Amino acid sequence: MSEVLFYHLERASVEDVLPGLLEKTLARKWRACVQSVSRERVERLDAHLWTYRDESFLPHAAGARDDGPDQPIWITDNEEAPNDPQVLFLIDGARRDAAAVKDFERCVLIFDGRDDEAVTDARAFWKAANTAGLATTYWKQSAQGKWEKQT
């Protein structure tokens, strides 16, 4: 069964959180697709993932579709996922139909809790995911910055 994880940002940015989640994805030997809403954002994430930490990098592609099949992480501004990912990350308001999420082992929606529209959209996606029979979990950062599963 597909699982949808909701990550509610209050203190951190997508740039702060996404690399760690992608590292965990790769540690499981899974491939990932990161979907944003604009080409400019994809290009900024592309640069960030090469430089976010001096001692490592996350192998990825954000360019030509021909680059995608061999890459563990594909960054896009559309629904294209040529690397056959197990995990879909939706950021910056990117959305998929809940029924389409069933094609992935896991979908991770990262949303900004300081943005009322993002919160409203996340709630709507939560409802749609539950209606579609998907398992859902909600994660929120503690005051110390640790992710905690909410019940």
Handedness of CA 13, 105, 140, 23 (dihedral sign): negative
pLDDT cut 70: percent of the chain above it: 97
Mean pLDDT in residue range 103-116: 96
Long-range residue pairs from 11-19, CB within 8 A, at least 24 positions apart, any chain: 11/141, 11/145, 12/141, 12/145, 14/91, 14/92, 14/110, 14/112, 15/45, 15/48, 15/52, 17/110, 18/45, 18/89, 18/91, 18/110, 19/48, 19/49, 19/52, 19/53, 19/58
Rounded mean pLDDT of the chain? 92
Residue 33 lies in a domain: yes
Count of CB atoms situated within 10 Å of the CB of 78 = 11
Say how far apart CA 4 and CA 91 lie, in whole Å. Answer: 13
Residue 151 lies in a domain: no
Q: How many domains does the chain have?
A: 1
CATH of the domain at 83: 3.40.50.10110
3-state secondary structure of 8: strand
Amino acid, single-letter form, for residue 141: Q
Beta bridge pairs of residue 136 = 4
Q: How high is the pLDDT of residue 65?
A: 62
| Structural domain that includes position 68 | 3-144
Contacts of 135 (CB under 8 A, 6+ apart): 1, 2, 3, 4
Which pLDDT band, with edges at 50, 70 and 90, does 66 fall under? low
Residue 149 lies in a domain: no
